[in-house]
Structure 1
Amino acid sequence: MGLKIITDSTADLLESWALKNDVQIMGLTVQLDNVTYETVGPDRLTSEFLLEKMAAGGKPTTSQVNAGQFETVFRQAAENGEDVLYIAFSSVLSGTYQSSLIARDIVREEYPEAVIDIVDTLAAAGGEGYLVMLAAKARAEGQSLQDIKALIADVAPRLRTFFLVDNLYHLMRGGRLSKTSALVGSLANIKPLLWLDASGRLVPLAKLRGRKKGMREMIKQATADLGHDTAVVAYANDDKAAQSLKEQLLEYEDIKQVIILPLGPVISTHVGPNTLAVFTIAKNAR
């Protein structure tokens, strides 16, 4: 009996990595100009194409993975005698987690002994992705499902997530932020810094004048209370800034490794072009 690890396309993991590490990615979809695009597979939407459309005025929206898609995957695993661990996008930011719960209940009616564990990470993007990386590494080392769940339960509440965005228009448009909170995004040269709080909600943290000052403040916040030697940097169409963040983070003695991941199309839809993000693990829970 094997262990099947599943996540979704909001984890922003490269499909080549997922294939190599035997992780299945469930794809949310993006709707743009009356066309529905997949975010997983050979014909998947690329962030580059999406961001170009957004810069030209495009207003994409996203849709969750539905219960039927999860049901198909969970049933196949049950038929194959595989245990399942689904590491999910934050339930606060998407209904995808709820879809997976519905599917699990349906499959368990047919296969009562099926082991289908679902973890609400309250995380997104590179933070969610890094939890999946840790889970895959633990499985490769021979750790049990219970051990891996305990690992995620320990790390996830200590995960720090920070987003530096050009403006808050896209987050407001997608319903992830109120109009009142988004007003600051219209101010000239003000770069909003946001973070995911303990409840998994995206909350404005600071208003910085200028991108460089915003990057410095994001690093300051991300390196406070460090409890792990790995950081993740994510970016939307600004790889040079991502490299700069990596170099600055590696100046900290407690950080030994920085992983860079481009923001995928689902997350990019909500945060917009030129977004930067940093994910670290603290000593203490949020």
Structure 2
Amino acid sequence: MSIKIVADSSCDLNNKIKETMKIEIVPLTLILEDKRYIDDENLDVSGYVKDMNACKTSPKTACPSPEQFMEAYKGEESIFVVTLSSALSGTYNSAMIAKNMFLEEIGNKFIHVFDSLSASAGETLISLKIHELSKLNIEDAEIVKRVNKYIKEMKTFFLLESLEHLAKAGRLNPIIAKIASVLSIKPIMGATEEGTIRLVQKVRGYKRAFDKFVDTIGEEGKNLEEKILGIAHCNCLDRALKFKEEVLKKYNFKDIVIVEMQGLSSTYADDGGLVIAF
């Protein structure tokens, strides 16, 4: 089957994944005051994060236009699209508009847009699942059915050094972020079934929060031996590797994949942030 996976730039990848499957990333635009950054492979993420933390105003993001998605829909017979949670971004709507425009203007083609109900490592795992299923010689509709089930069962959690940018961007109550900062509380957050953000645990001090983050997998997950764990990090590979090391002591995942965050994920996670999905 000739397929292509299309994802927005919240889908964090590593070189091995890029080499393994055919995936095209449609970038979001990141805005700091009057400066715009295209969130593609040419973005200096570390430099962007430094600029963001030096900026006096809140970072803003702009989702890709339908025209950008339409361009990505060209090529293969079947197109599977993975976007940020529709509860957090307009990217899903843009991808859907593009699908309708493409089918009207260019003709009949299989295009399906998945709302990840997640972000970052969650999108990574969904893309890997699509790639895996495409090798089974099953119908497009069956791939959609199985991926929808996967999305429904997938868990996403994150542990951040600071909640400041998440609050500034309107993704979290600013009062929660302020209290967390004053009391040195490191909240463990997670995705809801609707793709919004929920508070999972409140832990004082990073070391205790890190340990609890590992424990959260056992508390929230099941049948882990059948699953892949995705770990996305923002400029903290050592921390991601340490997390993997601690996970391996407790759990038996089928595989563990580590990816570095691109600009969009880094906008909310900031330096030291970890996002996991399984």
Distance in 2 of aligned mates of 1:107 and 1:257:
37
CA shift for structure 1 position 46: 2.7
Indicate which of 95, 102, 107 corresponds to 2:102. 107
Determine the structure 1 residue equivalent to 2:211: 216
Describe the SS at the equivalent of 2:201: strand
2:177 matched to 1:182?
A: yes
Q: Which runs of 4+ in 1 moved over 6 A?
A: none
Distance in 2 of aligned mates of 1:189 and 1:233:
24
2:24 matched to 1:24?
A: yes
Q: Which moved more, 1:160-169 or 1:247-256?
A: 247-256
Distance in 1 of aligned mates of 2:246 and 2:48:
29
2:64 matched to 1:62?
A: no
Does the CA-based 8 Å contact 1:84-1:117 persist in structure 2? yes
Determine the structure 1 residue equivalent to 2:167: 172
Describe the SS at the equivalent of 2:98: helix
Change in CA separation of 1:208 and 1:14 when aligned onto 2, cut-off 3 Å: same
Distance in 1 of aligned mates of 2:15 and 2:81:
17
Q: Which moved more, 1:173-182 or 1:107-116?
A: 107-116
Determine the structure 1 residue equivalent to 2:40: 40
Determine the structure 2 residue equivalent to 1:89: 84
Which TM-score applies when normalising by structure 2?
0.90
Q: Which moved more, 1:8-17 or 1:125-134?
A: 8-17
Q: Which moved more, 1:252-261 or 1:127-136?
A: 252-261
Q: Which amino acid aligns with 1:227?
A: N
Determine the structure 2 residue equivalent to 1:133: 128
Q: Which amino acid aligns with 1:65?
A: P
Does the CA-based 8 Å contact 1:18-1:25 persist in structure 2? no
Question: C-alpha deviations, 1:212-242, integer Å up to 9, x for none?
Answer: 1111111111222322332112211221111
Distance in 1 of aligned mates of 2:166 and 2:8:
20
2:145 matched to 1:145?
A: no
Distance in 1 of aligned mates of 2:187 and 2:230:
20
For the aligned residue pairs, the C-alpha RMSD in angstroms reads 2.0
Does the CA-based 8 Å contact 1:30-1:63 persist in structure 2? yes
Aligned residue runs from structure 1 range 188-199, under 5 A: 188-199=183-194
Change in CA separation of 1:16 and 1:216 when aligned onto 2, cut-off 3 Å: closer
Question: C-alpha deviations, 1:82-141, integer Å up to 9, x for none?
Answer: 221112221111101101111111122234522211111111101110110121122234
Describe the SS at the equivalent of 1:245: helix
Q: Which amino acid aligns with 1:271?
A: A
Describe the SS at the equivalent of 2:10: helix
Distance in 1 of aligned mates of 2:71 and 2:257:
33
Distance in 2 of aligned mates of 1:197 and 1:10:
18
Long gaps (5+) in structure 2:
none
Determine the structure 2 residue equivalent to 1:162: 157
Aligned-residue sequence identity (percent) comes to 26
Change in CA separation of 1:20 and 1:279 when aligned onto 2, cut-off 3 Å: closer
Does the CA-based 8 Å contact 1:222-1:279 persist in structure 2? no
Describe the SS at the equivalent of 1:11: coil
Q: Which amino acid aligns with 1:239?
A: L
CA shift for structure 1 position 254: 3.0
Distance in 2 of aligned mates of 1:235 and 1:57:
22
CA shift for structure 1 position 172: 0.9
Count of aligned positions = 274
Describe the SS at the equivalent of 2:249: coil
Distance in 1 of aligned mates of 2:196 and 2:103:
31
Does the CA-based 8 Å contact 1:219-1:278 persist in structure 2? no
Long gaps (5+) in structure 1:
281-286
